[in-house]
Structure 1
């Protein structure tokens, strides 16, 4: 019996059947035969149960690994399906609030875009800023995994997505070469559509137009003097829309004008990224939120279209605006 206890695993069944044969022929003991038979049954039962459990565990682990490694698009993620990877471009990245209507939150925020143009807001809580801050660069493409997904409970969405992406201490990211052909993910709104609004929009929008008037002033917001930039933009169809940007946007525009004397004879075309709409006496105007970014004569096809129609007789030429 001692030899049987130490026998190799692959030879467990043979000794058991050998004992059954001995009990039946040599000892002719029905009780011993029954006991050995029952013991063999238990050995086989637990052995096969262990095999099934081990196989099930390996299968589950394999599924979990595959699920973590599976790459999905932004419209596919949810609080339930968050153990996956996303390949996205960081099209907007900011670390402080430019929205003077709400207090600062002490977090880094960003807007991510996948290869199909889907967009989502992501943010890093203040406790993890030092860990991630230097890893992010606006315009870079990253592969992100082990993130959290939470409901977007904001009254006004920056982008049209019901969820937000949250970076945690276990979040992993890797910079990759490229994703799709779109670098900016512009979503330009038609001027006429904005001008015809009677109520505000829940989402932000992008605007592109020729600057035909601007003025800078100081206004008081929340008891603090803040710079304001009043703008009038004209689109290719001649529609004009007004806007008011609060914060450092005036400094950006004057710095650009100071470095580009005469703007090389071109008109000044502005792109207002992630702007929102407000109303004054029932008339809509664009303004900024925390994600808003001002682009001045950027090298993008949408701006090239404006420069192509400018000629010497254009009443909205650069020199007229600056005078």
Structure 2
């Protein structure tokens, strides 16, 4: 990994055109359309870096679904390049990060033989939920 000059998730924003990211796939899922025929709408990934910061990544181009269906895998650590950084203005946010990643046809990813340890969940205390003081209020639903 010494040869990879990587960005950290906490520093990701739309100020640069190219970025290199090494992250573990904590969770991967397929979101389906709400109306029939309930076809796949997008593939989402929850990524975490070695510092424990998280960001959401997604694939929305249907022609790429076959490529991303089996790879990358949950629990694997990957080197990602050539993705787009977009505003995380979704109604239902997966992370508190202001940005999210959008993977497209020229996005590169390669599995690495590395270990990134992280807790799978960030729980909000009951007190913060009741008082609605959690920093990431959009995650409480």
Question: TM-score band (shorter)?
Answer: 0.7 to 0.9
Q: How many residues align?
A: 135
Question: In the aligned structure 2, how far is the partner of 1:128 from the partner of 1:105?
Answer: 12
* Residue in structure 2 matched with residue 166 of structure 1 by the alignment: 102
Structure 1 pair 142/155, CA: closer, same or farther in 2 (3 Å)? same
* Displacement of 1:158: 1.8
Tell me if the contact between 2:32 and 2:42 (Cα under 8 Å) persists in the aligned partners: no
1:140-151 alignment to 2 at 5 Å? 140-151=76-87
Considering fraction of residues, name the structure with more helix.
1
Let me know the Cα RMSD of the aligned residues.
2.9
Structure 1 pair 98/178, CA: closer, same or farther in 2 (3 Å)? farther
* Residue in structure 2 matched with residue 93 of structure 1 by the alignment: 28
Question: In the aligned structure 2, how far is the partner of 1:104 from the partner of 1:157?
Answer: 21
* Displacement of 1:71: 0.7
Question: In the aligned structure 2, how far is the partner of 1:140 from the partner of 1:162?
Answer: 24
Greater Rg, structure 1 or structure 2?
1
- 2:41 aligns to what SS in structure 1? coil
Tell me if the contact between 2:20 and 2:82 (Cα under 8 Å) persists in the aligned partners: yes
Question: In the aligned structure 2, how far is the partner of 1:93 from the partner of 1:162?
Answer: 20
* Residue in structure 1 matched with residue 73 of structure 2 by the alignment: 137
* Residue in structure 2 matched with residue 152 of structure 1 by the alignment: 88
- Give CA-to-partner distance per residue, 1:277-297, whole Å, 9 cap, x none: 3xxxxxxxxxxxxxxxxxxxx
Runs of 4 or more consecutive aligned structure 1 residues displaced over 6 Å after TM superposition: none
* Unmatched 5+ stretches in structure 1: 1-68, 205-275, 278-323
For normalisation by structure 1, the TM-score amounts to 0.37
* Residue in structure 2 matched with residue 119 of structure 1 by the alignment: 54
